[in-house]
Amino acid sequence: MVIPDEGDICGFAGSTNEWPETVRDCWSELHRKHKLRYTGAMVADITHLLVDGGVVGYPERTSSPNGDLRLQYEANPIAYIVETAGGRSSTGRGSILDRTPAELHEHAPAYFGNSEQISVLESTLS
């Protein structure tokens, strides 16, 4: 499986009023150029991403300041799959796979997608 170089879809978890301003700015830019797709089921969203390309995100929110996904057994396995398929993963500040877990149930913001779109996302969020 190889993720397409250019993507078509965009989907972020949560409500826009809970996102930090930088995430809202990034979302505003992305959703103008892409089809909105978010099912709320991570495996379905990642499958759609691998087939159609784009970007899927699970950002930090006021109700979940460290993100929704648990680093070791949700974010890392999906990051490995996406990166093996030629895409990229990010916490918004670098690859999820470069992050060393500090505890078993540690949460992290997580974004998955095409290399170019993740680069744009990281530059917008930093």
Domains and CATH numbers, the chain: 9-125 (3.40.190.80)
Asked if residue 99 lies in contact with residue 105, where contact means CB atoms within 8 angstroms, the answer is: no
Q: pLDDT (tens digit, 9 = 90+) per residue, 33-61?
A: 776 666 778 888 899 899 989 899 999 99
Tracing tokens 């398929």 back to the chain, one arrives at 85
Residue 87 has pLDDT above 90, yes or no: yes
Using alpha carbons, select from 70, 71, 58, 112 the residue that is nearest to residue 88.
112
Q: pLDDT (tens digit, 9 = 90+) per residue, 71-83?
A: 999 999 999 999 9
pLDDT for 73 equals 92
pLDDT for 109 equals 95
- What average pLDDT score do residues 8-13 get? 85
pLDDT for 88 equals 96
d(CA 63, CA 61): 5
Q: What percent of the chain is modeled with pLDDT above 70? A: 97
d(CA 59, CA 16): 10
Between residues 78 and 16, the one the model is more confident about = 78
pLDDT for 31 equals 74
